[in-house]
A and B are shown apart, each in its own frame.
Chain A
Amino acid sequence: MTKTKKGYKAYPLTVAQKFHLFYLNFCPKKEVVNIGTSLTIQTDIDFALLKECIYKGYERNECMRLRFTQDDDGTWYQYVVDTEDRGIEFVDFSGNTTEEAEAIMRSWTKVPFELSDSPMNRIVMIKMPDGWNGVYMLVNHLVMDAQSLIAFLRDVIEIYCSKVFNDVPYPKDMASYIEQLEKDLAYEAGCKAKDRDEEYFRKLIETSEPIYNGIDGRIKLDMAKRKFNDPNFRAAHNTSDSVDSALDIFHLEEEPTTRLMNFCEKYHISLTCLLLMGLFTYFHKMNNTGDVSINTAIARRATLKEKKSGGTRIHSFPFRMVIPENKSFIEGIYQIRDLQNDMFRHANFDPVKYFAYRGKAYPVEQGYTYEPMSLTYQPMTLKEKGLDKLGDIKYKTKWYENGATTQAMYLTVMHRPDDNGLDFNFEHQVNAVSREKLEFMYYYLCKIMFKGTENPDLSISDIIKLI
């Protein structure tokens, strides 16, 4: 029977949403699911017009009007309201320094959303010091991921540009969130594709038990072996009791970034594969094993409808790389690419079920894991469309940390929109991984990637010796 809430059709949560809800339930800091960002342009903005464009954006993007509601039995549902007519805030920071303004926006990012029947986003038009103007945007990860947030901002900018510049066309329609939601829920209810995906992951898990690799070697694994008095124990306790987090960003300049991208183009591989190979070699060097597992996020947006429908679609799965050290750097990348392509075909599978199945196959105490970190590569920037209409006008984006994470270390690699260099964003639990360890890792990761891309036929063992 169809459920309705507040007069709207109500839908169950998708597995991607349930995944966020799962860790939200036991995380003491509810802001852990907040994503905060700002986009500013170095020019005057017609704020009244911008406000109109933001409302238009709400109208065109269903997920921006999403609400959650809970049944008496505790089950969460979602529904999309018809209109969003809240006032759009405006804050003038021109009397502040940039640092002060950013500190205030960081504090906004740490305010959790009320989950029941409330808006899941906050947009503030901002006037920054030194002539920068734009918007700050906060969203709940249950309704958006970074890619859909960028798609929404792009939509608003394109609408604004179409009204300001005569030669800029009005953007094409966005896609329906509800249509994609119904498609996802139909898959989850059961189908042949789901059976195939389950079979794929079941076989993958049953291959053999993974092994934990630490950022600084085998210390945590050895501790676990001692604790359980088991020399063959393969998992480790990776996180800290405190979820307090920091965001450390390392910048790779445009020229070296171009060299990496050219390598990817020449060998027809994605940057994710190169990053995974770099991380594999780093952990191999530090732990002396060619069996490395890392959590990878799959955005699950291939069709235009998926790319333009908003929502949160990320599924994260452990990505296990077992590569002999006599293989060359490029052969290792090809092996990673093939495994990644296989996984892409089955990425609709429920990650929670994956971990439940693995937990049964290899029972370890709760909190013990094989993956020291997670990796996401975010290829989408605002530069491709939307802001390219601004010509020489400068603009910048900034992401604000919410101050909490349930993972020890989460690396997001993204292109800087202003020069297309790469930013390595390490969000990490302060008590689990220090900035010094991250600096060390980033230094060697870059060394490995450049040594490998300059000498793709060098063996993995030779690269480890040479760096």
Chain B
Amino acid sequence: MFDKFVEIICNYVEVDPETITEDTRFMEDMGFTSFDFVSMLGEVEDEFDIEIDQQKAINIRTVGEAINYIQELINEN
């Protein structure tokens, strides 16, 4: 899951995948814009076959928080 998610992240920003950890922040550390982030959510939904609640996703700041949320949604399915 972590590796797949990092692969998706690397479609959006120029970042060395080796440097991404669970603590890496989307905007401050990787330079995501809000448009990048919202667009990435669409790809994540398709990849993991889940439906993301935008209100919850808005508060996600780090890769770890995103992975926990995705895992939660996968478990619910």
Is chain B a partner of chain A in the same complex? Answer: yes
A265 CB-CB contact with B under 8 Å: yes
B38 CB-CB contact with A under 8 Å: yes
Cβ contact within 8 Å between A338 and B54:
yes
A46 CB-CB contact with B under 8 Å: no
Contacts A265-B27, A303-B39 given; does A337 touch B12 at CB 8 Å = no
Provide the bound-state CA to CA distance between A89 and B3, in Å.
48
Cβ contact within 8 Å between A341 and B27:
no
Provide the bound-state CA to CA distance between A345 and B46, in Å.
14
Chain B residue numbers with a CB within 8 Å of A341 are 34, 38, 54, 58
Provide the bound-state CA to CA distance between A345 and B56, in Å.
16
Provide the bound-state CA to CA distance between A305 and B36, in Å.
12
Provide the bound-state CA to CA distance between A344 and B58, in Å.
13
How many chain-B residues does the 8 Å CB contact rule pick out? 21
B75 CB-CB contact with A under 8 Å: no
B17 CB-CB contact with A under 8 Å: no
Cβ contact within 8 Å between A304 and B39:
no
A379 CB-CB contact with B under 8 Å: yes
Cβ contact within 8 Å between A303 and B11:
yes
Smallest CB separation, A269 vs chain B (Å): 8
Provide the bound-state CA to CA distance between A23 and B35, in Å.
27
Cβ contact within 8 Å between B14 and A302:
no
Provide the bound-state CA to CA distance between A304 and B27, in Å.
15
Cβ contact within 8 Å between A303 and B12:
yes
B59 CB-CB contact with A under 8 Å: yes
Within 8 Å by CB of B27, from A268, A347, A385, lies: A268
Main secondary structure of the interface of B (DSSP, over half): helix
Within 8 Å by CB of B40, from A299, A302, A337, A347, lies: A302
A457 CB-CB contact with B under 8 Å: no
Cβ contact within 8 Å between B38 and A344:
yes
Chain B residue numbers with a CB within 8 Å of A304 are 10-14
Chain B residue numbers with a CB within 8 Å of A344 are 34-35, 38-39
A270 CB-CB contact with B under 8 Å: yes
Smallest CB separation, A306 vs chain B (Å): 9
Chain A residue numbers with a CB within 8 Å of B77 are none
Taking CB as reference atom, which chain B residue is nearest A341?
A: B38
Mask for A329-347, Cβ within 8 A of B = 1, else 0?
0000000011011101101
B55 CB-CB contact with A under 8 Å: yes
A298 CB-CB contact with B under 8 Å: yes
Chain A residue numbers with a CB within 8 Å of B27 are 265, 268
Within 8 Å by CB of B39, from A270, A302, A338, A342, lies: A302
Provide the bound-state CA to CA distance between A340 and B35, in Å.
9
Mask for B3-19, Cβ within 8 A of A = 1, else 0?
00000001111100000
Smallest CB separation, B7 vs chain A (Å): 12
Identify the B interface with A (CB < 8 A).
10-14, 27-28, 31, 33-36, 38-40, 42, 54-55, 58-59, 61
Can you pick out 28 interface pairs between chain A and chain B where the beta carbons lie within 8 Å of each other? Answer: A172-B14, A268-B27, A268-B58, A268-B59, A269-B34, A273-B34, A300-B35, A301-B35, A302-B33, A302-B35, A302-B36, A302-B39, A303-B11, A303-B12, A303-B39, A304-B11, A304-B12, A304-B14, A337-B34, A337-B58, A338-B54, A341-B38, A342-B54, A344-B35, A345-B38, A345-B42, A384-B31, A385-B14
